[in-house]
Amino acid sequence: MTGYGFQDFDDVYVPHPDEPMPVFRRSWKPADLTEVLDGAWQPPEPTVGRRSDGVGMFYPGKVHTVSSETEGGKTWLILSVVLDELKAGRSVVYLDFEDDAGGIVGRLLTLGGDRRSIAERFHYVRPEDGLGSGVHSDDLDFLLRETTPSLAVVDGVTEAMTLNGLDPNSNSDAAKFGRMLPRRLAQAGAASVSLDHVTKSAEGRGRYSIGAVHKLNGIDGAAYTLTNRTPFGVGITGRSTVRIAKDRPGQLRKHALASTGEPWFGDLVLTSHGEEFAEVEVVTPEVKEAGEFRPTKLMGDICAAMEKADKPLSGAQIEAQVRGRATYVRQARSLLQVDGYVSETAPFQLLKPWDGAGSDD
């Protein structure tokens, strides 16, 4: 693998002559505030992964967590995000401290993952040693630099911290681990997502994963918690509630429903059709007594796509250009037709610009 910065004879990392020198970040210098003061700065948007109505779930370049009890569905949720990113042509780095390649890739295939996309753009790592500052650290930096992933997953925070000689119950060790791995992944531009466990006692759980409080305090993206309502299993449909425990940039809560406790972002639904095939998605909250849930995010995206087009669009063209499950895109288009934004017959024309009317998602 000499073309990738390695020597074949001993598999020891040696910098390749074509590799750029690492950039030293001088973070103690005053920041340039011009962009903010000029009004050009925009808050980050969650564009990694998606809910069934097209709303993104994770922020690029930010640190996130997904927490649940055992069999709460956190791995299924993140694999649905992995598939979203692979389908979009992007790369994923998956650091697995709990399972093995057969378990994780096997699940991706069960969910209908494309074998070629997985082989080319799903980069699976099963660490058996602490990261340190030597060859393992170099391997990770090289992987991030070469693959430029949109999503980087740390599966098993407690195991990862223990492997690196850190105490999951120590705030100082949690902060150290955050700098060592999750934030390092985010600095490479990826949405960094760590999968963690919650305490078994629901009464004393609060908003935190098991262990130190700093696990939540150190997050600059979002933190989700999952609570299983219907068990997952072969041949059945399982469901877990997905709630927002933290949203530092503040762009996700507006797509959630206010409810008792944390905002309700949606439901993780895993439909098993047997041993070899299952479907997974994060759907919008289902509250029948609250009236019809209008997918206003998708409605706005459809209008934006039609406004950019230089001619009317067919239904298939709209579904190809708008990010979201096809059934939800069609539902959103139908609502736009009822509300007089889109023509009744194909090819579809935009009759008036979208103004967010009826926004309740």
In the 3-class helix/strand/coil scheme, how is 306-349 assigned residue by residue? HHHCCCCECHHHHHHHCCCCHHHHHHHHHHHHHCCCECCCCCEC
pLDDT band at 18 (very low <50, low <70, confident <90, very high): low
Q: What is the pLDDT of residue 358?
A: 53
* Cα gap 199→136, rounded to integer Å: 31
pLDDT, greater one: 112 or 8: 112
Q: What is the pLDDT of residue 2?
A: 37
* Cα gap 61→182, rounded to integer Å: 10
Nearest CA to 355 out of 339, 334, 331, 344 is that of 339
Rounded to the nearest 5 degrees, what angle is found at the Cα of 213, between the Cα atoms of 208 and 217?
90
pLDDT band at 328 (very low <50, low <70, confident <90, very high): confident
Residues 35-46 pLDDT 10s: 999 999 889 999
Residues 121-139 pLDDT 10s: 999 999 999 998 789 999 9
pTM for the structure as a whole: 0.73
Specify the range with the lowest mean pLDDT, choosing from 64-68, 196-200, 254-258, 275-279: 196-200
Q: What is the pLDDT of residue 192?
A: 98
Mean pLDDT, rounded, for 139-153: 97
Predicted confidence (pLDDT) at residue 291 exceeds the cutoff of 60: no
Q: Give the alpha-carbon dihedral of 147, 194, 228, 56, to 10 degrees.
A: -50
Nearest CA to 356 out of 282, 298, 287, 291 is that of 298
- Ranked by mean pLDDT, the top range of 13-22, 166-175, 193-202 is 166-175
Predicted confidence (pLDDT) at residue 80 exceeds the cutoff of 90: yes
User: What percent of the chain is modeled with pLDDT above 70?
Assistant: 83
Predicted confidence (pLDDT) at residue 12 exceeds the cutoff of 80: no
- Name the average pLDDT for the chain: 85
Mean pLDDT, rounded, for 87-93: 97
Q: What is the pLDDT of residue 340?
A: 82
Residue 98 in 3-state DSSP? coil
Sign of CA dihedral 92, 96, 100, 106: negative
Tokens of 193: 């997502």
Predicted confidence (pLDDT) at residue 281 exceeds the cutoff of 60: yes
pLDDT band at 17 (very low <50, low <70, confident <90, very high): low
Which position has the token pair 């024309």? 349
Q: What is the pLDDT of residue 326?
A: 78
Q: What is the pLDDT of residue 6?
A: 42
* Contacts of 325 by beta carbon, 8 Å cutoff, 6+ apart: 52, 53, 54, 281
User: What percent of the chain is modeled with pLDDT above 90?
Assistant: 60
Mean pLDDT, rounded, for 92-117: 96
How many residues belong to the chain?
361
**Domains (ranges, CATH) in the chain?**
63-290 (3.40.50.300), 294-361 (1.10.10.10)
Predicted confidence (pLDDT) at residue 10 exceeds the cutoff of 70: no
Predicted confidence (pLDDT) at residue 178 exceeds the cutoff of 90: yes
From start to end of the chain, where are the E strands? 63-68, 92-96, 122-125, 151-155, 191-197, 222-230, 237-247, 264-272, 278-283
Residue 114, class by beta-carbon neighbours within 10 Å (0-12 exposed, 13-18 middle, 19+ buried)? middle
Q: What is the pLDDT of residue 16?
A: 54
Q: What is the pLDDT of residue 339?
A: 81
pLDDT band at 19 (very low <50, low <70, confident <90, very high): low
